[in-house]
Structure 1
Amino acid sequence: MTATLLAAVERPAHRDPQVLRWLGAYTASTLGDSVYHLALSWAAVRGGSPAEAGLVLAVSAVPRALLMLGGGVVADRFGPRRVVIASDTVRCLVVLLVAALLLVASPTLWTLAGIALVFGIVDALFMPAVGALPPRLAPHDQLARVQGMRGLAYRSGAVLGAPLGGLAVALGGPGIAFAVAGALFALSLPLLLGLRLRPLSGAAEDRSGTALGDLAAGLRYLRGHRVLGPLMIVIALSDLGFVGPLNVGLALLSDERGWGAAGIGWILAGFGVGAGGASLLLSVKGRVPRAGAVLGWSMAVGAVSIGALAYVPQLPLAVAVALSVGLLAGLSGALCGALVQTECDPAYLGRVSAVSGLCSLGLAPLGFPLTGAAIGLWGVGPVFTTSAAVCALAGLYGLSVRAVRRAELPR
């Protein structure tokens, strides 16, 4: 029996049934999320003005930003598996209810905004819990490989979800697309229910008995950690510099160059291929030597590609530059995630993942209006260059902090 347990512990992540079960559930959930967002976008555009549709799509960002830290407390208090199962159950029921309603009536914008609000609340719980699950599924030395596999699953869901949602809308309208999203969320549930988690290991947690006290304890832990504290600053700076150009600047750049919507699609495809390649590298190798230094340099060098994207005149060259951005940003992002997973005490991982997610999904999107306004005033080139400088600053800051620069993934 001891030999069997030892073999289970030493089993690589890509052969571990628990990890593969979780990965299948995560892929199904990501696909469902992509289909849901496309169905919501289409229903909102058909039901109101472009400004009203934009407002509906922005509603979910508010609770996600406000409640993300609380979601980390919930994940650590009640266990990430329970929270993920509850989140996907709610999402499944909500979109199936909407699909049923669309069979008898057209949804109002208020209805769509309510759905987006519910999803924003659920996302604030789901995202920290997903970040806290891997250490309870795989051995410590397999967490980097799990992070790479998770990146591949996310990219696959994002790439395949949009055409799947578009096909569903074309065949039967938003109602069918919502039904498909609900079915995908439902598919994740039996896989999640079959998970068997590893016991927590690490330092005893400082609990005060209240949710606010748990949050304060998590923030104290993060502030005092020699790697994780500075790493949160690296993540925040890189996201602030990177997210605006990719989400807002890219559309304005394509319009300025005359590449149109197809140009945006090709550039995003190049980015996705590069980011997927970085995730595949980490999945196969399982470990990158001198991870902290590679993280910093990949951010700094990748910043050059971000700045260059605004100055390339032809679309094929822009796609090639976007591929390099995806490769370097994907590598640095995967290494950030892997270091968070391996450096953090599992008892605090929900709250640490929440802080990391807040940087990416709460603070960075606040710069979207500023990015658009700045491009209107100064043009695409100066804004992309400034954003690239912020990304470079993130990498250089990581390299300047000795604990981050010398951080290693476990062997």
Structure 2
Amino acid sequence: MNAVSKKENVKVPIFHNRNFVLLLISAIFSSPGYFVYLIGTEWLMLSITDNRFYFGMLFFVAAIPRLILLVVGGLFADRLNKRTILFWSDFSRALLIGILILLIWTDTVAIWHLLVLSGLFGISDAFSYPAMNSLVPTLLEDDQLQRGNSFIQMTNQISPILGPALGGTLIALLGFAGVYSVAFIMLFISSLAVLFIRLKIERQEEVRKPAPLTDLKEGFQYARKNELVISVVIMAFFLNFFFSGPIAIGMPVIVKDVFDGNAASLATIQTSMGVGALAGAILLASWKLKRPGKAVIMSLIGLGISFSITGLSANTFMMAGLVALMSVLTQIINIPLITMLQQTTEKHMLGRMMSMFMTVSTGLTPVSYIVTSSLIAANVPIQAIIVVSGFVVTLIAVYNLLKNKKLLSFTLSQGREQG
């Protein structure tokens, strides 16, 4: 009897965990596939029209449905098969890219096509994010979460390395049809990998089916009692406004309009983003933070300063170096935050907590896209926008260093993995 009990309690090392490995394989294809699509769409929009407002709208129309439906995505993640949600997310993206390929082949692609597809991708994001982040804790033990999240982020961050490099090369060699064909294949492979994940019913979902509105109300009540969630969300709510729009819209616009660069130049900067993010993920896969909250806030200060300096970049390579540094710091911010939320949330609430965290913390992101696009359209230099935004991010981080005691005092669950 004791032998059986010990056997059941043996912790499976991360890379002996078949389901987790399959999830990693899926991420290896899904994220680069998405970035190949993204760089193709960014450059296609910049090529179709000289009105940079439409370029900003490309991000806005993706952010709105993502924001509105994230809570619904969290409900689905807690009530339905997470594996199935991830499959349909990647498979539907592949189908959408297939439609775009047909439009390019028939030479009928227009601005509104790119905007509609961007919105549909945003819907897919709303369901895939909570499903992914609530699935990881069901596959790993608590003290494996930081390492597991680091590996997930590591595979995700291959995308800004492989995706832009591959995308920029394919645009130059094969045109837009070639870049989208590769994105289609990668997302299709990712969707197939997810199908091989097998979960025990009792670990996949709780046997509880109250009305969806009851679930939603329960989620909000649970979040209100979680001081860490409230603390992090308030900080992220304002940070996203000053960071998301200027960085997403600013990089391609600076490359195109200030540096007079091409798709390869944009790919260089986005690849450097992936290199930095991958380095940060590798760092956190081997280094367990004892005081993650303090690391998060100090990294935020560094991020704000680096962001301001980025606005003063003189050329593509200077910007690429600063973007790489910001990506390292972003990983030291994001991975511990996700891990902290996963450790402090009950399993059956994970989907709702992940989606609510993203919904509230990114609530100003669409506004950030619109404001940034409008300022650029009003001839405000994008460099000035970035410098000011970085300064504000730094001030927010310093304020949290002085006031956010809940985040500063948090310690992760400790443990030693076998194997």
Q: How far apart are residue 332 of structure 1 and its match?
A: 1.1
Q: How far apart are residue 78 of structure 1 and its match?
A: 1.0
Query: Could you report, residue by residue, the CA deviation over 1:279-329 in whole angstroms, capped at 9, with x for unpaired residues?
Result: 1111123x2111112212221233233233345667665554444322222
Q: Which residue of 1 aligns with 2:340?
A: 339
- 2:129–2:355: 8 Å Cα contact kept in structure 1? yes
Q: Which residue of 2 aligns with 1:74?
A: 76
Report the Cα distance in structure 2 between the residues aligned to 1:325 and 1:53, rounded to whole angstroms. 27
Query: Could you report, residue by residue, the CA deviation over 1:364-396 in whole angstroms, capped at 9, with x for unpaired residues?
Result: 242134345567558845752443333441464
Q: Calculate the TM-score normalised by the size of structure 1.
A: 0.83
- 2:87–2:194: 8 Å Cα contact kept in structure 1? yes
- 2:239–2:393: 8 Å Cα contact kept in structure 1? yes
Q: Does 1:194 align with 2:196?
A: yes
Superposed, 1:6-25 pairs within 5 Å as: 6-7=9-10, 9-11=11-13, 13-25=14-26
Q: Does 1:407 align with 2:410?
A: yes
Q: How far apart are residue 95 of structure 1 and its match?
A: 2.8
- 2:75–2:352: 8 Å Cα contact kept in structure 1? yes
Query: Could you report, residue by residue, the CA deviation over 1:156-215 in whole angstroms, capped at 9, with x for unpaired residues?
Result: 11221223334444555434433322221221233212213366679989x883323322
- 2:105–2:177: 8 Å Cα contact kept in structure 1? yes
- 1:309–1:318: 8 Å Cα contact kept in structure 2? yes
Per mean C-alpha deviation after superposition, the further-off stretch among 21-30 and 104-113 is 104-113
Report the Cα distance in structure 2 between the residues aligned to 1:174 and 1:203, rounded to whole angstroms. 42
Paired AA for residue 365 in structure 2: A
Does the C-alpha gap of structure 1 residues 341 and 377 become closer, same or farther in structure 2, counting only changes over 3 Å?
Answer: same
Superposed, 1:24-103 pairs within 5 Å as: 24-41=25-42, 44=45, 50=51, 54=55, 55=57, 58-99=60-101, 103=105
Q: Calculate the TM-score normalised by the size of structure 2.
A: 0.82
- 2:101–2:177: 8 Å Cα contact kept in structure 1? yes
Does the C-alpha gap of structure 1 residues 193 and 258 become closer, same or farther in structure 2, counting only changes over 3 Å?
Answer: closer
- 1:398–1:404: 8 Å Cα contact kept in structure 2? no
Report the Cα distance in structure 1 between the residues aligned to 2:77 and 2:155, rounded to whole angstroms. 22
Q: How far apart are residue 100 of structure 1 and its match?
A: 5.0
Per mean C-alpha deviation after superposition, the further-off stretch among 50-59 and 242-251 is 50-59
Report the Cα distance in structure 2 between the residues aligned to 1:110 and 1:46, rounded to whole angstroms. 14
- 2:70–2:358: 8 Å Cα contact kept in structure 1? yes
Report the Cα distance in structure 2 between the residues aligned to 1:172 and 1:252, rounded to whole angstroms. 23
1:388 counterpart (388, 391, 394):
391
Q: Which residue of 2 aligns with 1:237?
A: 238
Where in structure 1 are there 5+ consecutive unaligned residues? none
Q: Which residue of 1 aligns with 2:150?
A: 148
Query: Could you report, residue by residue, the CA deviation over 1:244-271 in whole angstroms, capped at 9, with x for unpaired residues?
Result: 3322444566689757567765555444
SS at match of 2:227: coil
Where in structure 2 are there 5+ consecutive unaligned residues? 415-419
Q: How far apart are residue 128 of structure 1 and its match?
A: 1.7
Paired AA for residue 387 in structure 1: G
Paired AA for residue 410 in structure 1: S
Superposed, 1:12-411 pairs within 5 Å as: 13-41=14-42, 44=45, 50=51, 54=55, 55=57, 58-99=60-101, 103=105, 106-170=108-172, 172-197=174-199, 209-250=210-251, 258=259, 260=261, 267-285=269-287, 287-311=288-312, 318-359=319-360, 362-371=363-372, 376-377=379-380, 380-381=383-384, 384-394=387-397, 396-397=399-400, 400-411=403-414
SS at match of 1:276: helix
Count of residues in correspondence between the two structures:
407
- 1:297–1:396: 8 Å Cα contact kept in structure 2? no
Paired AA for residue 368 in structure 2: G
